[in-house]
């Protein structure tokens, strides 16, 4: 799904409906099966009381890249859990990039790593996400199978 050079990848319906993606000004840079790259510029409303990027927003960036990487077919895949290690703080005006990669996929369970870097390429956080593929269709993401979410 890599677009021609000089164009942005098309947004899948999942991202077209993602209010957080839009609200935080995230930009999709790569969208391929098992891999995604997105970026976000740190704004003033993203800073905590110490004038550094709020950790929850760094997590949101990583979690969104994870979601893109693990939703590659017609079945909805959700997070079963995630952990993040914050390695360096970032500040107003910096651009953060999250690069998600699939590490393993066994049955309905997946394991993904996301590296978050700043505009210099320095690693600022590492995220590991565990996914679970549901029995819901991306065509009807809110529908459940016999009342079961997973």
The candidate with the shortest Cα–Cα distance to 42, out of 15, 65, 24, 27, is 24
> Are 122 and 61 in contact, with CB atoms under 8 Å apart?
no
Q: How far are the Cα atoms of 53, 78, 93, 123, 143 from residue 36, in angstroms, in the given order? A: 22, 15, 23, 17, 26
What CA–CA distance (Å, rounded) separates 55 from 78?
21
pLDDT of residue 12: 87
CA angle 54, 46, 26 (to 5 degrees): 105
One digit per residue, the tens of pLDDT, for the chain of length 150 reads: 444 455 667 888 889 899 999 999 999 999 999 999 999 999 999 999 999 999 999 999 999 999 999 998 888 999 999 999 999 999 999 999 999 999 999 999 999 999 999 999 999 999 999 999 998 877 655 544 444 444
What CA–CA distance (Å, rounded) separates 129 from 99?
12
């Amino acid at each position: 799904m890599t677009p021609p050079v000089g164009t942005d990848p098309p947004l899948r319906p999942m991202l077209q409906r993602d209010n957080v993606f839009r609200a935080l000004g995230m930009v999709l840079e790569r969208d391929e099966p098992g891999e995604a790259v997105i970026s976000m510029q740190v704004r003033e409303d993203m800073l905590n009381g110490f004038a550094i990027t709020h950790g929850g927003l760094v997590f949101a960036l990583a979690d969104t890249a994870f979601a893109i990487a693990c939703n590659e077919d017609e079945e909805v895949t959700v997070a079963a859990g995630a952990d993040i290690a914050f390695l360096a703080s970032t500040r107003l005006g910096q651009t953060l990039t999250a690069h998600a990669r699939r590490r393993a996929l066994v049955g309905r369970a997946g394991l993904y790593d996301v590296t978050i870097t700043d505009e210099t390429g320095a690693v600022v956080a590492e995220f590991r996400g565990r996914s679970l593929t549901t029995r819901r269709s991306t065509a009807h993401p809110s529908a459940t199978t016999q009342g079961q979410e997973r």
